[in-house]
Amino acid sequence: MKLNEDDLYRSSTQFRNWSFTAAQLATQRRRINQQATERVKANVARIRAQRAEDAIARDSVGEGEKENGSGTSGANTPNAVAQSATEVDCLTAAEEMKIVDEFCERAVALGSHYSFPLNVVSTAIQFLRRFYLYNSPMTYHVNTILRTIMFMATKIELFSIHVSQYAQGAGRNVSTESILAPEYIIMQGLRYNLDIRHPFRAIKAGHMEMVEMVHGKYQGPANGMSAKEVQAKMLQLPTNVDAPAVRMPEKRVEERIHAAYATATHTLRTIAVLTDAYFLYTPSQIWLAAHLLADEPLTLFYLSCKLPPSSPHYAKLLGVLRSCASLISSHRLYTNTSLPKDERDKREAQHQTEVKRLVQKLKNCRDPEKVDLVKLNQAQKRDAVEGDALEESKAKRRKLAREGYEKEADAFWGPELGKGAAVGE
């Protein structure tokens, strides 16, 4: 049975579990947002009702304490006092999306703060996007999740750093527990699919082949042309789509290829990872789209070598590449580069205030049950401590079981040697 490159890609988890159509993505985000909203509202209402009950009970006892609801659980519900009467103002799907996008950008900053290599940061960003496809920022705050995801990405990309070291760099209030606590939640959210297919190595291969083409040593499929013909055609490529074809020296064309590669790589690293491109397109299409943005005639020529322009696939693929390219080029950071400075600054400031507002809004609509992930994580563990001590019957049962095991072990191996025995009594 024969397999080609596409079949190999189809077997990846990225294609099987993490590729979507645009419509599916939108539906999924809307649904998650809706469910999270319902949940947040229900949980907040429940907590408020309970607090009101407590207050009544306290009043009936006759304590002189003022009723203000900032009791023991006040720390768990941010701004509970301020909006105790009003309905919770939840984020919409679009706003959630904006927050996730913002934190993807902050992931880049976090990565450069730790000076992590590129692949760690890119993987972390993709993990974050995947995670928030099935979770809402209202349930798990993006900040906590991002910290942990970045740490997990270092492990997955074989750039190991110790948790304590990582926690030290993360800020004053960050403990190792708070970094490790959401790991299990995240792994579930990622469905244990840790392989991210990035287009970075792929674009290197494409660059490699183009250089071979211009040197006249290309051996791959070339639409029936010989290596020399490919070279000749390449030297005559127009610099622009509309510009006339002029023959250029080999050196110049090679420089042009290097330049296109540099631009495209930069686009991939800084912009493509921040978009939904990984969900909607394959890595092969992503790098070609970035290359298309960088140097269109060159990319089109390269494509025509790989696929004859007469084939129906060619037009379709080109359509896909153009839509991917427009997705990348419509990103704020991409459009910013072509704007004059003051215009750019103005837009950036506008964007920042918008983001600030959203983050503030998020603070007020978090799911009170999922605020303290460290505590949740501890509660899930085997010797969960509830209140002060373990449930008495459980503790007793465990102690008995432990003693039983020890006895069994002693019967077989003999009892443990005392410290005095080793010295010689």
Partner 1 sequence: MSKQAGRAGGASKRQAEDGDICPVCKSSRYLNSTMEFKINPACYHRMCDTCVERIFKKGNNMCPVAGCAKTLAYKGFRRATFEDLQVEREVDIRKRVMKVMNKKEDDFETLRDYNDYLEQVEEITWNLILNIDKDATERKLDRFEAVQKAEGNAGVSKREPTKSTARVALNKGIVPEALNNDDADTDFSFRGLKKRVAPPKEAPFDPWGGYNIAQQYYVLQDNYDVDWYARMKSDPAHLVGGHSMQEYCSRALREAFGGFGVFIEDEIAARDDPSMDAGVGTEHAAAAAVSGDNVNMDDVF
Residue 71 Cβ, how far from partner 1 at the closest point, in Å?
28
Residue 36 or 108 having the CB closest to partner 1 = 36
CB 389 within 8 A of CB 395: yes
Our finding on whether 15 is near partner 1 (CB under 8 A) is yes
Q: Which of 6, 63, 250, 345 binds partner 1 (CB under 8 A)?
A: 6
- Residue 284 in contact with partner 1, rule: CB under 8 A: yes
Q: Which is nearer to partner 1, 77 or 284 (CB)?
A: 284
CB of 206 to partner 1, least distance (A): 5
Site for partner 1 in 351-390 (CB under 8 A): 380
Cβ neighbors of 232 (< 8 A, separation 6 or more) are none
Q: Please give the full DSSP string across 26-89, using - where no structure is assigned.
A: HHHHHHHHHHHHHHHHHHHHHHHHHHHHHHHHHHHHT------S-SGGGGGSTTTTTTSSSPP-
Binding test (CB under 8 A) with partner 1, winner from 113, 162, 201, 346? 201
- The C-alpha atoms of residue 234 and residue 228 are separated, in whole angstroms, by 10
28 φψ region: left (φ > 0), alpha (ψ -120 to 50), beta (else): alpha
Phi, psi of 59 (to 5 degrees): -60, -45
| 112: Cβ contacts below 8 Å, ≥ 6 apart | 121
Q: Closest CB to partner 1 among 49 and 315?
A: 315
Nearest-angstrom CA–CA distance, 144 and 345: 29
Spatial distance between the Cα atoms of 71 and 230, rounded to a whole number of angstroms: 77
x/- letters, 307..336, toward partner 1 (CB under 8 A): x-----x--xx--x----------------
DSSP state for residue 95 in the 8-state scheme: H
Q: At CA 101, angle to CA 283 and CA 6, rounded to 5? A: 15
Asked if 158 interacts with partner 1 (CB under 8 A), we say no
Residue from 156, 161, 194, 211 touching partner 1 (CB under 8 A): that is 211
* Contact stretch for partner 1 (CB under 8 A) within 119-127, 206-214, 356-364, 385-393: 206-214
Residue 367 structure tokens: 């799911």
Closest contact distance (angstroms) between CB of 174 and partner 1 is: 22
In this structure, the number of other CB atoms found within 10 A of the CB of residue 322 comes to: 14
Residues 20-49 that bind partner 1 (CB under 8 A): 20-24, 27-28, 31-32, 35-36, 39
Q: Out of 114, 116, 151, 287, point to the residue binding partner 1 (CB under 8 A).
A: 287
Contact between 127 and partner 1 by CB under 8 A: the answer reads no
The footprint of partner 1 (CB under 8 A) covers 1-6, 8-10, 12, 15-24, 27-28, 31-32, 35-36, 39, 134-135, 184-185, 188-189, 191, 197, 199, 201-209, 211-212, 215, 217, 219-221, 280-285, 287, 306-307, 313, 316-317, 320, 380
